[in-house]
A and B are shown apart, each in its own frame.
Chain A
Amino acid sequence: DQQVKQNSPSLSVQEGRISILNCDYTNSMFDYFLWYKKYPAEGPTFLISISSIKDKNEDGRFTVFLNKSAKHLSLHIVPSQPGDSAVYFCAASWGITGGGNKLTFGTGTQLKVEL
């Protein structure tokens, strides 16, 4: 029962172009969403998050969009840089007072930014 899905296991983008990573979820109780980046043999690094009361959040080159009706979120990276090459995980939470503060992760998308 995969409640958070990242259907694209890999994505290849040219340097300077936009990277769009997608994530779908099934549990309508999720109210907070996060993106993490992970390099091999390291722990995930928090990138950006969005609450369900918003539909967009920006932080520098990273923008997360949330479409609650479609239960879909996406991470846009503009412009993409070679250092962005990593595995990106989408995660969801339904908050502290609900089912707990644990994060449910997707299976990840390997982004490769080529020169």
Chain B
Amino acid sequence: EAGVTQSPTHLIKTRGQQVTLRCSPISGHTSVYWYQQALGLGLQFLLWYDEGEERNRGNFPPRFSGRQFPNYSSELNVNALELEDSALYLCASSLFVEAFFGQGTRLTVV
């Protein structure tokens, strides 16, 4: 069974640009979560999607947004990139409480 897959694995963007990260959940999982792990910090909750709707949002500015598609895959969009957005972005999916993570997308903003 395929796990959670994320693309791309690495990305370099310039300050002010926009970026879209993609996530495919484990088959049968309806919930998708996005987390940010900045260097030296823990995992910070960004967004939770379930059945196509945003269910909860972490303490991040509105330029962080996303959506979930009918096939439960998800996108995370970040507008007006700032240097401090450089981080590992992790997607996870779950059916109940245990969340299973993808490998992450390493975003570097220069």
Closest to B94 in A: A101
Residue contact A44 to B98, C-beta cutoff 8 Å = no
| Contact among A43, A101, A104, A108 for B103, CB-based, below 8 A | A43
Query: What is the count of residue pairs linking A and B with beta-carbon distances less than 8 angstroms?
Result: 64
Q: Is the interface of A mostly helix, strand, loop or mixed?
A: loop
Proximity string of chain B (72-90) to chain A, C-beta cutoff 8 Å, 1 when within and 0 when not: 0000000000000000101
Residue contact A45 to B101, C-beta cutoff 8 Å = yes
Give complex CA distance A34, B96 in Å. 13
Residue contact A34 to B101, C-beta cutoff 8 Å = no
Q: Which of B2-31 contact A (CB under 8 A)?
A: 4, 31
- Chain A contacts to B: CB under 8 angstroms: 32, 34, 36, 41-46, 49, 89, 91, 93, 95-96, 99-108
Residue contact A103 to B103, C-beta cutoff 8 Å = no
Closest to A48 in B: B98
How many residues on the B side are at the interface (Cβ–Cβ under 8 A)?
A: 28
> Nearest chain A CB to B90's CB is how many angstroms away?
5
Report chain A residues within 8 Å CB of B43: 44, 89, 91, 105
Residue contact A102 to B45, C-beta cutoff 8 Å = yes
> Nearest chain B CB to A28's CB is how many angstroms away?
18
Give complex CA distance A44, B35 in Å. 11
Given contacts A44-B43, A89-B42, whether A101 and B106 have CB atoms under 8 Å apart is no
Residue contact B33 to A96, C-beta cutoff 8 Å = no
> Nearest chain B CB to A54's CB is how many angstroms away?
14
